[in-house]
Amino acid sequence: MEERHKKILQRNRTNLVTEMEPSSLYDCLFEKGVFTHDMIDAIKSSGTRRDQSRQLVRDLETRGSRAFPFFLECLQETGQHSLAEKLQNGAPAVHVHPTLTPVVLPDIRPLPVTPPVDIDKQRKDNVPVSPAQKLDTTPTPSPESEFIRPRLPSRTRRDSTCAQSYKMDASPCGHCLIINNVEFDPESELSNRKGSNIDCDRLERRFKMLNFIVEVKTNLKQRQIKHELSALSKKDHSLYDCCVVIMLSHGTEVSHSRFPGAVYGVDGQFVTVQYITNYLNGQHCPSLQGKPKLFFIQACGGDERDTGFEVSPDEFEPSFGGVDDQTDAMPMSSSSDSLSTSDEPDARATLPTPSDILVSYSTFPGYVSWRDTQSGSWYVEILDSVLEKNGATDDLATMLMMVNNEVSQISAKGVYKQMPGSFNFLRKHLHFQTQA
């Protein structure tokens, strides 16, 4: 950045720190190539809004000559006009184009495709070589050569990228909401879920040990579920590193465009998993942008029962569920109309890519999830055990694979099987905090 632009930022540092809304600038600064995703994550993790504003200005001074005018454009485009004017008054030579969005990625053009040519033969025959048949090795000049652009992923960066982990050292680490639906209205034609309180107690204790602020809500109707999720999305998560939602209820299979399944309220009305995740995505909960959002769903994905298939006795030891095993299944619903009720918008139309989201299901979509009325569900019992034994050494994705393996070896009534799974859109490894 030019020295005169740095001085303008330094003179206005107090105004920038006190007035700027950095969270609204991140997407714009990334699109214009001022910051990379990793740089934005580092700014977000610096602390409060003022801390993030202060760090953003520091990092801005390290970027190329075009960083300052692009920063002005972003301020204008996000409605922070007074700040942009204060900076412009100190830099009359900078002309801002609010509607101009420069190309971030390099302009890569394919080489002309021509048939093979024998150059020596052409020379002997005194036939000139056409310009299209010559390889122009002269580098194309770039008007933005001084500005640092985000590098495209390449093999040379693979090792460092794979080793990255989410920041998970805040204390507390974040909020954990558990919705435990046990007793259902008679009109819902759904049975009560005996044994679910055991699951709830296990997970409440486990996530408190993982340094989360745990809040339990019991026997919620559909509208109450939405209200609690909305309240969670409106919290300020700036000081935290993660957010967890756990759903314990009956479930069903629904049509979907991203995350399958739905969870029932005690009134017999369901909320789709896709709708549940929408509340915490980067668009609707800005203070969780770039941070992991974890959803654990103990509910059926449908009403189909899996009898498994025969394997070698050496591969699996027989394991049997309890005599009181029940399912959390309901028949498949043909639509996901709960996504578009009269007082809530259909978030699917404008939903961005669900980065930093992981949804762990107790069962494969379309199949039942087994729950023992005396000892709780297979999935929750094993999830709790794996987190206890392996939380200090393994990342979440690895532990969920362990859960999948252990649950797959259990049999209900000596016949029926269950296969958990997850939709993982996390960008980095996730290691929970564990007690020493």
- Beta-carbon contacts of residue 311 (< 8 Å; ≥ 6 apart): none
- Beta-carbon contacts of residue 330 (< 8 Å; ≥ 6 apart): 190, 250, 251, 252, 264, 300, 303
Query: CA angle, corner 277, sides to 273 and 280, nearest 5?
Result: 160
- Match 């974040």 to its residue by tokens: 174
Q: Is 250 among the catalytic positions? A: yes
Instruction: Choose, from 5, 175, 237, 250, the residue flagged as catalytic.
Output: 250
Helices (H), 184-295: 196-209, 222-234, 273-278
3-state secondary structure at position 94 = coil
Instruction: Choose, from 28, 176, 300, 431, the residue flagged as catalytic.
Output: 300
Rounded Cα–Cα distance for residues 23 and 53 (Å): 9
User: Are the CB atoms for 384 and 206 separated by under 8 Å?
Assistant: yes
- Phi first, then psi: what are they for 189, rounded to 5°? 60, 25
Q: Is 5 among the catalytic positions? A: no
Exposure b/e, 158-185, CB count within 10 A at least 16 = b:
eeeeeeeebbbebebbbbbbbbbbbebe
**Residues belonging to the active site:** 250, 300
